[in-house]
Protein backbone atom coordinates (compact mmCIF):
# COMPACT_ATOMS: atom_id res chain seq x y z
CA UNK A 1 0.00 0.00 0.00
CA UNK A 2 1.34 3.33 -0.92
CA UNK A 3 2.02 5.78 1.84
CA UNK A 4 0.87 9.38 1.83
CA UNK A 5 3.67 11.87 2.28
CA UNK A 6 2.73 14.21 5.08
CA UNK A 7 4.32 17.66 5.11
CA UNK A 8 4.30 19.49 8.42
CA UNK A 9 2.09 22.57 8.50
CA UNK A 10 5.07 24.68 9.57
CA UNK A 11 6.96 23.68 6.40
CA UNK A 12 3.95 24.46 4.21
CA UNK A 13 3.68 27.88 5.82
CA UNK A 14 7.36 28.47 5.19
CA UNK A 15 7.03 27.56 1.52
CA UNK A 16 4.06 29.90 1.14
CA UNK A 17 6.07 32.75 2.64
CA UNK A 18 9.04 31.94 0.40
CA UNK A 19 7.00 31.83 -2.82
CA UNK A 20 5.18 35.01 -1.84
CA UNK A 21 8.48 36.80 -1.26
CA UNK A 22 9.88 35.60 -4.60
CA UNK A 23 6.73 36.75 -6.39
CA UNK A 24 6.96 40.20 -4.82
CA UNK A 25 10.64 40.51 -5.80
CA UNK A 26 9.85 39.46 -9.37
CA UNK A 27 7.00 41.96 -9.56
CA UNK A 28 9.13 44.79 -8.20
CA UNK A 29 11.93 44.01 -10.64
CA UNK A 30 9.55 43.94 -13.57
CA UNK A 31 7.82 47.17 -12.55
CA UNK A 32 10.88 49.12 -11.41
CA UNK A 33 11.61 51.84 -14.02
CA UNK A 34 15.27 51.72 -12.98
CA UNK A 35 15.62 48.19 -14.42
CA UNK A 36 14.58 48.22 -18.10
CA UNK A 37 13.92 44.91 -19.77
CA UNK A 38 16.31 45.80 -22.60
CA UNK A 39 19.06 48.41 -22.65
CA UNK A 40 19.98 50.33 -25.79
CA UNK A 41 23.52 49.99 -27.08
CA UNK A 42 25.54 53.17 -26.60
CA UNK A 43 29.03 53.98 -27.89
CA UNK A 44 31.20 56.33 -25.82
CA UNK A 45 34.28 58.32 -26.86
CA UNK A 46 35.84 60.55 -24.19
CA UNK A 47 39.03 61.70 -22.48
CA UNK A 48 37.19 62.08 -19.16
CA UNK A 49 37.48 59.40 -16.43
CA UNK A 50 33.79 58.50 -16.57
CA UNK A 51 34.03 54.88 -17.74
CA UNK A 52 37.18 53.84 -15.88
CA UNK A 53 38.32 55.59 -12.69
CA UNK A 54 41.08 58.15 -13.04
CA UNK A 55 44.54 56.57 -12.94
CA UNK A 56 43.27 53.02 -13.54
CA UNK A 57 45.86 50.37 -14.30
CA UNK A 58 45.41 46.91 -15.82
CA UNK A 59 45.00 45.29 -12.40
CA UNK A 60 42.16 47.62 -11.40
CA UNK A 61 40.47 47.23 -14.78
CA UNK A 62 40.05 43.49 -14.28
CA UNK A 63 39.17 43.76 -10.60
CA UNK A 64 35.40 43.32 -10.26
CA UNK A 65 35.51 45.03 -6.86
CA UNK A 66 37.22 48.19 -8.14
CA UNK A 67 35.34 51.46 -7.91
CA UNK A 68 33.15 52.40 -10.86
CA UNK A 69 32.59 56.08 -11.71
CA UNK A 70 29.08 57.26 -10.89
CA UNK A 71 28.56 58.49 -14.46
CA UNK A 72 29.09 55.00 -15.83
CA UNK A 73 26.83 53.43 -13.19
CA UNK A 74 24.11 55.95 -14.02
CA UNK A 75 24.35 55.46 -17.78
CA UNK A 76 24.32 51.69 -17.42
CA UNK A 77 20.90 51.88 -15.81
CA UNK A 78 19.58 52.66 -19.29
CA UNK A 79 22.30 51.78 -21.77
CA UNK A 80 24.82 49.06 -22.59
CA UNK A 81 28.04 51.04 -23.05
CA UNK A 82 30.98 50.31 -25.34
CA UNK A 83 33.99 52.67 -25.04
CA UNK A 84 35.70 53.66 -28.29
CA UNK A 85 39.18 55.07 -28.92
CA UNK A 86 38.41 55.91 -32.54
CA UNK A 87 35.35 56.26 -34.73
CA UNK A 88 36.94 54.82 -37.86
CA UNK A 89 38.73 51.51 -38.38
CA UNK A 90 41.83 50.69 -40.36
CA UNK A 91 41.58 50.27 -44.10
CA UNK A 92 39.49 47.24 -44.92
CA UNK A 93 37.98 47.10 -41.42
CA UNK A 94 34.50 48.15 -40.39
CA UNK A 95 34.21 51.39 -38.43
CA UNK A 96 33.81 50.95 -34.64
CA UNK A 97 30.61 53.03 -34.63
CA UNK A 98 28.90 50.68 -37.10
CA UNK A 99 26.23 48.74 -35.27
CA UNK A 100 25.41 51.65 -32.92
CA UNK A 101 22.67 54.21 -33.39
CA UNK A 102 23.53 56.21 -30.26
CA UNK A 103 26.88 57.84 -29.49
CA UNK A 104 28.25 60.11 -26.76
CA UNK A 105 31.37 62.14 -27.51
CA UNK A 106 32.52 63.93 -24.38
CA UNK A 107 35.59 66.17 -24.52
CA UNK A 108 37.53 63.86 -26.86
CA UNK A 109 41.29 64.03 -27.35
CA UNK A 110 40.67 65.14 -30.90
CA UNK A 111 38.89 63.91 -33.99
CA UNK A 112 41.04 62.90 -36.95
CA UNK A 113 39.99 63.92 -40.47
CA UNK A 114 38.73 60.36 -40.94
CA UNK A 115 36.78 60.59 -37.68
CA UNK A 116 35.15 63.85 -38.81
CA UNK A 117 34.14 62.34 -42.12
CA UNK A 118 32.97 59.07 -40.59
CA UNK A 119 30.96 60.86 -37.89
CA UNK A 120 29.24 63.07 -40.45
CA UNK A 121 28.29 60.05 -42.56
CA UNK A 122 27.11 58.08 -39.51
CA UNK A 123 24.82 60.91 -38.34
CA UNK A 124 23.37 61.48 -41.80
CA UNK A 125 22.53 57.80 -42.05
CA UNK A 126 20.42 57.97 -38.89
CA UNK A 127 22.80 58.10 -35.92
CA UNK A 128 21.97 60.09 -32.78
CA UNK A 129 24.86 62.01 -31.22
CA UNK A 130 25.19 63.70 -27.83
CA UNK A 131 28.33 65.87 -27.94
CA UNK A 132 29.74 67.44 -24.75
CA UNK A 133 32.10 70.18 -25.97
CA UNK A 134 33.49 72.19 -23.04
CA UNK A 135 35.58 75.30 -23.84
CA UNK A 136 37.36 74.94 -20.49
CA UNK A 137 37.21 72.05 -18.03
CA UNK A 138 36.93 72.98 -14.36
CA UNK A 139 37.33 69.60 -12.66
CA UNK A 140 40.21 68.64 -10.38
CA UNK A 141 42.45 65.77 -11.48
CA UNK A 142 45.36 63.96 -9.86
CA UNK A 143 47.66 64.34 -12.87
CA UNK A 144 49.31 67.50 -14.13
CA UNK A 145 47.77 69.41 -17.00
CA UNK A 146 50.79 68.51 -19.13
CA UNK A 147 50.32 64.78 -18.48
CA UNK A 148 49.01 62.94 -21.59
CA UNK A 149 46.46 61.14 -19.42
CA UNK A 150 44.88 64.42 -18.30
CA UNK A 151 41.47 65.02 -19.91
CA UNK A 152 41.43 67.46 -22.80
CA UNK A 153 41.29 70.75 -20.90
CA UNK A 154 40.15 72.94 -23.79
CA UNK A 155 37.56 71.61 -26.20
CA UNK A 156 38.45 72.41 -29.80
CA UNK A 157 35.59 72.78 -32.25
CA UNK A 158 35.92 69.99 -34.82
CA UNK A 159 35.31 70.72 -38.51
CA UNK A 160 32.25 68.47 -38.52
CA UNK A 161 30.45 70.73 -36.00
CA UNK A 162 31.21 73.75 -38.19
CA UNK A 163 29.95 71.77 -41.20
CA UNK A 164 26.65 71.26 -39.41
CA UNK A 165 26.40 75.04 -38.94
CA UNK A 166 27.44 75.59 -35.30
CA UNK A 167 30.29 77.09 -33.32
CA UNK A 168 30.90 78.13 -29.69
CA UNK A 169 31.45 81.49 -28.06
CA UNK A 170 33.25 81.72 -24.72
CA UNK A 171 32.99 84.54 -22.17
CA UNK A 172 36.24 84.86 -20.20
CA UNK A 173 34.58 87.07 -17.59
CA UNK A 174 31.68 84.83 -16.58
CA UNK A 175 31.40 83.79 -12.90
CA UNK A 176 33.40 80.70 -11.98
CA UNK A 177 30.88 79.11 -9.64
CA UNK A 178 28.78 76.06 -10.47
CA UNK A 179 25.28 77.00 -11.60
CA UNK A 180 22.19 75.45 -13.11
CA UNK A 181 21.55 76.15 -16.80
CA UNK A 182 18.53 75.43 -18.98
CA UNK A 183 19.04 73.29 -22.11
CA UNK A 184 15.46 73.54 -23.32
CA UNK A 185 13.83 70.54 -21.63
CA UNK A 186 15.54 70.63 -18.24
CA UNK A 187 18.58 71.90 -16.40
CA UNK A 188 22.14 70.69 -15.83
CA UNK A 189 24.95 71.97 -13.61
CA UNK A 190 27.49 73.96 -15.64
CA UNK A 191 30.68 75.83 -14.80
CA UNK A 192 32.44 78.26 -17.14
CA UNK A 193 30.25 77.11 -20.00
CA UNK A 194 30.29 78.06 -23.64
CA UNK A 195 27.46 79.45 -25.73
CA UNK A 196 26.31 77.74 -28.91
CA UNK A 197 26.16 80.05 -31.92
CA UNK A 198 24.55 79.20 -35.24
CA UNK A 199 26.72 80.20 -38.17
CA UNK A 200 25.19 82.67 -40.54
CA UNK A 201 25.10 81.66 -44.16
CA UNK A 202 28.33 82.88 -45.69
CA UNK A 203 28.52 84.13 -49.24
CA UNK A 204 30.57 81.94 -51.49
CA UNK A 205 29.49 78.60 -50.03
CA UNK A 206 28.79 75.98 -52.63
CA UNK A 207 25.40 74.30 -52.94
CA UNK A 208 26.97 71.18 -51.47
CA UNK A 209 28.23 73.09 -48.43
CA UNK A 210 24.86 74.75 -47.91
CA UNK A 211 23.10 71.39 -48.21
CA UNK A 212 25.46 69.89 -45.62
CA UNK A 213 24.28 72.29 -42.92
CA UNK A 214 21.94 70.85 -40.35
CA UNK A 215 18.59 72.30 -39.36
CA UNK A 216 19.67 73.58 -35.94
CA UNK A 217 18.05 75.48 -33.09
CA UNK A 218 19.72 76.95 -30.01
CA UNK A 219 17.97 75.85 -26.82
CA UNK A 220 17.36 77.21 -23.34
CA UNK A 221 20.03 79.53 -22.00
CA UNK A 222 22.13 79.09 -25.12
CA UNK A 223 24.31 76.29 -23.75
CA UNK A 224 22.85 73.71 -26.15
CA UNK A 225 21.59 73.18 -29.67
CA UNK A 226 19.72 70.38 -31.39
CA UNK A 227 20.08 69.70 -35.10
CA UNK A 228 18.49 67.46 -37.66
CA UNK A 229 21.28 66.32 -39.98
CA UNK A 230 20.15 64.03 -42.77
CA UNK A 231 18.29 61.12 -41.19
CA UNK A 232 20.04 61.63 -37.83
CA UNK A 233 20.27 64.22 -35.10
CA UNK A 234 22.91 66.01 -33.05
CA UNK A 235 22.56 67.43 -29.55
CA UNK A 236 25.47 69.73 -28.65
CA UNK A 237 26.07 70.82 -25.05
CA UNK A 238 28.73 73.49 -24.48
CA UNK A 239 29.83 72.25 -21.06
CA UNK A 240 30.87 69.00 -19.36
CA UNK A 241 30.72 69.95 -15.66
CA UNK A 242 28.09 67.32 -14.90
CA UNK A 243 30.53 64.64 -16.07
CA UNK A 244 33.39 66.08 -13.98
CA UNK A 245 31.61 65.84 -10.63
CA UNK A 246 33.58 63.30 -8.53
CA UNK A 247 30.41 62.22 -6.76
CA UNK A 248 26.79 62.84 -7.50
CA UNK A 249 23.65 62.78 -5.49
CA UNK A 250 20.32 61.87 -7.03
CA UNK A 251 19.64 65.29 -8.66
CA UNK A 252 22.72 64.99 -10.89
CA UNK A 253 21.97 61.37 -11.75
CA UNK A 254 18.40 62.23 -12.71
CA UNK A 255 19.56 65.28 -14.68
CA UNK A 256 22.04 63.18 -16.67
CA UNK A 257 19.44 60.54 -17.52
CA UNK A 258 16.93 63.23 -18.49
CA UNK A 259 19.53 64.82 -20.77
CA UNK A 260 20.17 61.51 -22.53
CA UNK A 261 16.44 60.91 -22.83
CA UNK A 262 16.05 64.28 -24.57
CA UNK A 263 19.09 63.76 -26.81
CA UNK A 264 18.39 60.17 -27.86
CA UNK A 265 14.79 59.18 -27.27
CA UNK A 266 12.81 62.25 -28.32
Residue-wise pLDDT tens digits, 235-259: 999 999 999 998 887 899 999 999 9
Choose among 29, 6, 5, 25: nearest CA to 17: 25
pLDDT at 67: 82
Q: With CA atoms as reference, report the closest residue to 78 among 243, 261, 251, 250.
A: 261
Confidence of residue 92 (pLDDT cuts 50, 70, 90): low
φ, ψ (nearest 5 deg) of residue 205: -70, 140
Side-chain half-sphere of 242: how many Cα atoms within 13 Å?
28
| Residue 4 pLDDT greater than 70, yes or no | no
Q: Over 90: is that where the pLDDT of 90 sits?
A: no
In the DSSP assignment, the letter for residue 28 is: H
Percent of residues, the chain, with pLDDT higher than 90? 66
Q: Greater confidence, 100 or 5? A: 100
The confidence score (pLDDT) of residue 61 equals 46
108-154 tens-digit pLDDT: 998 999 999 999 999 999 999 999 999 999 999 989 998 988 999 99
CA distance 84 to 45: 5
Report the chain's C-alpha Rg in angstroms: 23
pLDDT confidence of residue 59: 44
Query: pTM for this structure?
Result: 0.82
Domain residue limits, the chain = 41-265
Domain 41-265, CATH: 3.40.50
| Position 25 pLDDT exceeds 60 | no
Amino acid sequence: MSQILRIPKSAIAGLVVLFTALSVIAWLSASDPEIPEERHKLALMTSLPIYWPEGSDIASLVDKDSETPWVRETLERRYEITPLDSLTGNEGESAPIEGFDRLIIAQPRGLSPADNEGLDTWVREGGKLLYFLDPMLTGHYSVALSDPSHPTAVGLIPPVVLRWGMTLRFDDFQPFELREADYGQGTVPVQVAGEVILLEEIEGLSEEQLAARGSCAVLGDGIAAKCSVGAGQVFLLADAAILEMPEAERPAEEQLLALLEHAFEE
